[in-house]
Amino acid sequence: MKQFTHNQLTYNQCVAIAYFQLLKRAKEMLSTIEQEELRSTLERADKTLPQIGTVVHELLNPLIYMRLELHPGGLMAIHFGIEPINQLGQLTDITSNFLRLLYKLTSKDVYPIDIENCVRTDWFINSCSGLYEYLEESEHYAFKQLKYKVTAKKRKQLLSVA
């Protein structure tokens, strides 16, 4: 990972960088799911200058949830959630890799400023699919369908069958 100096970045900039890196990687992971409904996302972004207590960006999917917001005190925070999956396989891999990545990207080893406390657990979404269904018709969210991307592992399986 790229190393930054203290003079280059503020706490909120580091949190935002970590969040948007996580967003990119989460979308990459979700795009590998064959089932179209599990590649559906709802996104909300505030394009104005963030105010205290406002959501800067939010992504909701039936499997994962992530939100960047400006908390009281002027510090950015990341809220998250995962859908409980009771069987091993690709969906479990995605949710567990999402959690590992969240904590890896916000590790104090990545930035000159310790941002580990930006990951908030004061409220945790443990039913992403339920929240997704509830907010699906909301005018505050933009529906986006991620394109399916065949993984190298899946491509190899398909070629071996052919």
State the average pLDDT for the chain: 89
* Residue 91 pLDDT: 95
* Residue 1 pLDDT: 47
101/36 Cα distance (integer angstroms): 24
Residues in the chain: 162
On whether residue 39 sits in a domain, the answer given is yes
Across the range 37-63, mean pLDDT stands at 92
Domain assignment of residue 79, given as a range: 11-161
Look at residues 130, 4, 121 and name the one whose alpha carbon lies nearest to residue 67: 121
> Of all helices (H) and strands (E), which one includes residue 20?
helix 11-30
Across the range 3-8, mean pLDDT stands at 51
- pLDDT one-digit tens code per residue, 12-43: 999 999 999 999 999 999 999 999 999 999 99
On whether residue 3 sits in a domain, the answer given is no
On whether residue 123 sits in a domain, the answer given is yes
- pLDDT one-digit tens code per residue, 127-141: 999 999 999 999 999
Asked if 6 and 29 touch (Cβ cutoff 8 Å), the reply is: no
- pLDDT one-digit tens code per residue, 105-131: 999 999 989 999 999 998 899 999 999
pLDDT of residue 53 exceeding 50: yes
Beta strands per DSSP E along 21-136: 40-45, 55-60, 64-70, 76-82
Quote helix, strand, coil % in the chain, to nearest 5. Answer: 40, 20, 45
* Residue 113 pLDDT: 92
Model confidence, pTM:
0.87
Tell me which of 82 and 123 has the higher pLDDT.
Answer: 82
On whether residue 1 sits in a domain, the answer given is no
- Token pair, residue 143, equals 């529906």
Tell me which of 148 and 2 has the higher pLDDT.
Answer: 148
- pLDDT one-digit tens code per residue, 68-81: 999 888 899 999 99
Across the range 154-158, mean pLDDT stands at 54
Distances, alpha carbon 155 to alpha carbons 33, 67, 132, 147, 159, in Å: 13, 33, 30, 16, 6
Distances, alpha carbon 71 to alpha carbons 13, 41, 54, 119, in Å: 14, 24, 7, 12
Number of domains comprising the chain? 1
